[in-house]
Structure 1
Amino acid sequence: MGKKTVLFFSIVFLLLINTAPAHAIGKNPSNLYVVKSGDSLPAIAHTFGTTVEDLKLTNGLQSDTVVVGQKLYVPFVYEVMAGDSLDKISAAYHSSVERIKAANGLSATQLYLGQKLLIPPQRMNMDGQYILMTKEEFKNWLFHHQFSRKITIIQHHHTWLPSYKHFHGSNHFAMLKGMENFHIEKMGWKTIAQNITTFPDGKIAVSRPFNIAPEGTIGAKANTTGLTIENVGNFDIGHDVMTQAQRDTIVTITALLCIKFRLTPSIDSITYHHWWSLRTGERVLDNGPDYNVKTCPGTGFFGGNSTVSARNNLYPLVSRKMQEIAESK
């Protein structure tokens, strides 16, 4: 960490110590700030002694706009109690031991009773507008955000190309940028087409902002109130065999999206690209001739790309996951 960064944190820490009340785990404090009418990122950053850039990185924000009701992780001052440790504190407040040590100039993990610590939230894994997450991180991100666009349709696609052979375990951002370049340069779209991308290792990338409708050959009727999930792989029979990690992620995020947008799994709420005419953009379900529909999301996608396959295979899994999530709250 550079001298300027250390100085910045030191100044912020002193200001917060002198102006903000200290909290302890036993008193159930929250480091979540709920956005109110008239708020802006610069104003929120000033209030909590942080920066707009750090608020964006700790909350997975793709723009400088905030929405009333949105929840943001913010730094706060914590007072150490008996039995506390950096591991416990970081786990309780969406931080990390290293972040807390760096923010407070600690060289060791020992704490003392009554010690006041600045707790900075953990940063998310971002590259430009792309946010790479685990399933649990996506759940928090999704339910902390508010969206201005009406969403009634969750679309499932497969990339076909790139496929599994192009994924090397750590090239998530490189693959996203490759897709973005293709969508802009070859297809003439404004940015990457899909809102969400899933990977063979089970990771999730929020790609195109949710408040911007997706683009693609599925057509305007599906896109206007749609949210596109692009699943990396070629899931036509005889090609990529979906990993269990990606399978679990697809079911989980579909369930989370249904809960967030109050959707019941059905052909009207969870749709496959295969069910839409390339020529007219109308929904044809299982009745489209092969020359006028894509196989997407794949003839082997959760047992097939037909409405029967979706009803028998994907929808029951999503419904059960929705119930599990509801029971775990």
Structure 2
Amino acid sequence: MKKGILLLGISLSFALAFECKDYTVRKGDSLEKIAKREGVSLESLKKANKNIDERQLKVGQKLCIPVKSAKKATSEKYAIYEVKKGDTLQKIAESFGVDVEDLKEFNGLKDEKIVEGQKIKIPAPKAISKKKGEDKDYELYTIKRGGRLKDVA
């Protein structure tokens, strides 16, 4: 009876530590592949699934993918991009107008290795941009009716 109560207490405290998204193991999955695909660190995936032996994953087995709490997630704005065949972190960064290093940092990536199907968080420009007005090497000017371009230059 004491073991049952102890286990219940452990699982309750575990459940309150973070929120989970359900994941069903597919053929060929490993914890490392799942972590990359879902955009979480391998360490956090292992912590969320302490009872799982990574050497014995079974197709159909349920895992917990840790997610940020709703309060924190709303303060960080980002889009989710699913990696397609032939994508590189450099290509993704260029297409969204962000820096590769920002992408790596925002997604907890140690290197530029990504896999097809992996979900990458693309930070909103505000999340990575400098304060408004910094490094501004241009000035906006609205030409009034009747104005000419040569009058501006």
- Same topology, TM > 0.5: no
Give the TM-score normalised by structure 1: 0.22
Q: Which has the higher contact order (CA 8 A, sep 6+)?
A: 2
> TM-score, normalising length from structure 2?
0.43
